[in-house]
Structure 1
């Protein structure tokens, strides 16, 4: 499993992107969109490039437009991965930003949401965030999870998940190749009473859902399809 593919096509980060705004939630700077009075929330967990990625915030805005309170916390604390820093390769960066730490902080964010009247929470995680999402699903801290081009997710993780889970993968992906996604699908299909969906998108690479070229019509279409599935899954299961 290598890092370069995960680090390809970094977004141009923009702290002012999106129709929402940033506030403090659960001790973290968090981009929020939608009505704070909504009883239904979706926690959107970024990849290694963080919560200021414009395409990620576009997804949050779309989720919010469907009636959810969309929250995108800064789980990496203003320290997005920078591929142009050779002295800090991905394994070194991950020592400071482990998914286990993200999981603990996500629990705090969910507690904060519930203290504000939210009754149901879904989670969608991209790459790094997918591992955090499935950990939340294993503990039933969320009502449903969506994993997009997951990294570091294992077959054992899928065996332990207890909530409806959708996994959207890329045909070209070192972190979650189609063979692994097939194993995920077999395990999830064998779980009675847990709704699941596994879909492999052809001709796309890891990161395609939020790190795409806006001038590439096919790339935009694939990303929009994946993010629509994310939204549909939350509408179906986060109630």
Structure 2
């Protein structure tokens, strides 16, 4: 497994975070809770990119989902060692491949499982899963065992084509949304119609969106000063909200 340069590129977003940190199942989590009535038996697991909770973009996006009526839980996947936001700065020489050697998705998957188990003890029965970049790999791992009931993945990383997609179809009952873009070596444009073909008769449900002019990372680290990227980021968010409202 490997990453591309766009896995650690992008723009830091600004805003006031509305959620709070909680410990769930022994795992530190950012929790965004709606201010209106919401179904307490449902939770959306927000599985981040390699920047995790320290990058403001991720908690701010979780807050946006909470405003749409979902309780959102974002586990700390990297034991306090997420890639620092400074890696986004021009000239950064951060070595993501070395970092990845200590942070494989299997470990992150086990962390999320601890949180899911604890939430089940609190009465949660249905889990949606949002996966951004690295996080999409974790979402697939969970979906293979039907530990989540709906998956929305944006510019997924670390998935092997066609193996992981065929495994998803064979083993999962979770509807799948993929928010894809024009420039993405992790989910190449030439593979997109092939994935669509594989999922053409996937009973639980499948949808793929496509955002022209956008690059890997656009849905969470996109430059909002660029109209195409802003439209892509907002489109991917809207599609994910609609998908979870319909499928979860």
Q: Corresponding residue for 2:144?
A: 138
Secondary structure (helix, strand or coil) at the match of 1:96 reads coil
The answer for the alignment partner of 1:188 in structure 2 is 199
Structure-2 residue corresponding to 1:5: 6
CA RMSD of aligned residues (A): 2.1
Count residues with an aligned counterpart: 234
Q: Provide the rounded CA distance (Å) in 2 between the counterparts of 1:44 and 1:17.
A: 18
Counterpart check, 1:117 vs 2:119: no
**SS at 2:60 equivalent:** helix
Shift of 1:96: 1.0
Question: Counterparts of 1:35-74 in structure 2 under 5 Å?
Answer: 38-74=40-76
Deviation by residue 1:44-99 (Cα, 9 ceiling, x = unmatched): 0110111232222222112212222101111012222244774x622211111111
The answer on whether the counterparts of 1:43 and 1:71 sit within 8 Å (CA) in structure 2 is: yes
Q: Secondary structure at the match of 2:127?
A: strand
What SS is found at the alignment partner of 2:199?
helix
Q: TM-score, normalising length from structure 1? A: 0.90
Distance 1:181 1:175 in 2: 11
What 5-or-longer segments of structure 2 have no aligned partner?
Answer: none
| SS of residue paired to 1:201 | strand
Checking the alignment, whether the CA contact within 8 Å between 2:25 and 2:118 is kept in structure 1 is yes
Give unmatched runs, 5+ long, in structure 1: none
CA deviation profile, 1:148-193 (whole Å, cap 9, x unmatched): 00001122212222110111111101111111222221111133x2
SS in 1 for 2:207: strand
Larger relative contact order (Cα-Cα within 8 Å, sequence gap ≥ 6): 2
Q: Name the structure 2 match of 1:29.
A: 28
Provide, for residues 121-168 of structure 1, a one-character-per-residue CA deviation record: whole Å limited to 9, x for no partner.
Answer: 000000000000111111100010011000011222122221101111
Q: Give 1:18's aligned residue.
A: 17
Q: Are the equivalent residues in 2 in contact too, given 1:147–1:166 (CA < 8 A)? A: yes
Q: Which whole-Å CA distance do the structure 2 matches of 1:26 and 1:228 have between them?
A: 30
Offset of residue 108 of structure 1: 1.1
In 2: Cα distance, 1:27 partner to 1:11 partner:
29
Using the size of structure 2 for normalisation, the TM-score is 0.87
